[in-house]
């Protein structure tokens, strides 16, 4: 009688011909991780929003300048920007703009700032 073989035997290989299982598993895991990182990170981009700086408050800027003058700061290079500051203050409050213009004109004419007048102006602002 012939022997019936249900499961054919795999031919035995010598040990030096076997591929180590660990190397193929590690390679597969590394490729899988790389694919997940590339796919996951490529979709997680957030849209860039343009940043617009807040417009400075001209009245607060004028107050800061008057505080410095009231504290004894001499007339400096900031006087170059008086016209621009006066225009911006006038756009917000015409009365304060007129007072600031008179103060700035006097300071420019004399070449120095009167600290007492600066303190008085600051109280009015």
- Measure the CA dihedral 77/78/84/88, to 10°: 180
The predicted model gives 22-43 an average pLDDT of 70
DSSP string computed for 107-119 = HHHHTS--HHHHH
Q: How confident is the model at residue 47 (pLDDT cuts 50, 70, 90)?
A: low
- With a pLDDT cut of 90, the percent of the chain lying above it is 16
How buried is 94 (Cβ within 10 angstroms: 0-12 exposed, 13-18 middle, 19+ buried)? exposed
Question: DSSP secondary-structure letter at 94?
Answer: H
Tens digit of each residue's pLDDT (9 = 90 or more) over 61-113? 989 889 988 888 888 888 888 899 999 999 999 999 999 999 999 988 888 88
Instruction: Name the average pLDDT for the chain.
Output: 78
Q: Is the pTM of this model over 0.75?
A: no
φ, ψ of residue 84 to 5 degrees: the values are -65, -45
Tokens 């979709």, located at residue:
43
Contacts of 125 (CB under 8 A, 6+ apart): 59, 62, 63, 66, 96
Tokens 């004419």, located at residue:
109
**Residue 112 confidence (pLDDT):** 87
How far is 125 from 40, CA to CA, in rounded Å?
A: 56
How far is 124 from 112, CA to CA, in rounded Å?
A: 21
């Amino acid at each position: 009688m012939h022997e019936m073989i249900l499961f054919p035997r795999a031919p035995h290989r010598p040990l030096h011909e076997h591929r180590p299982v660990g190397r193929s598993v590690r390679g597969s895991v590394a490729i899988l991780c790389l694919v997940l990182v590339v796919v996951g990170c490529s979709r997680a981009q957030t849209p860039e929003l343009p940043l617009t700086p807040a417009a400075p408050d001209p009245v607060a800027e004028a107050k800061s300048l008057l505080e410095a003058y009231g504290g004894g700061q001499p007339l400096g290079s900031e006087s170059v920007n008086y016209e621009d500051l006066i225009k911006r203050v006038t756009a917000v409050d015409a009365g304060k703009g007129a007072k600031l213009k008179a103060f700035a004109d006097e300071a420019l004419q004399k070449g120095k700032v009167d600290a007492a007048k600066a303190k008085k102006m600051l109280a009015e602002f």
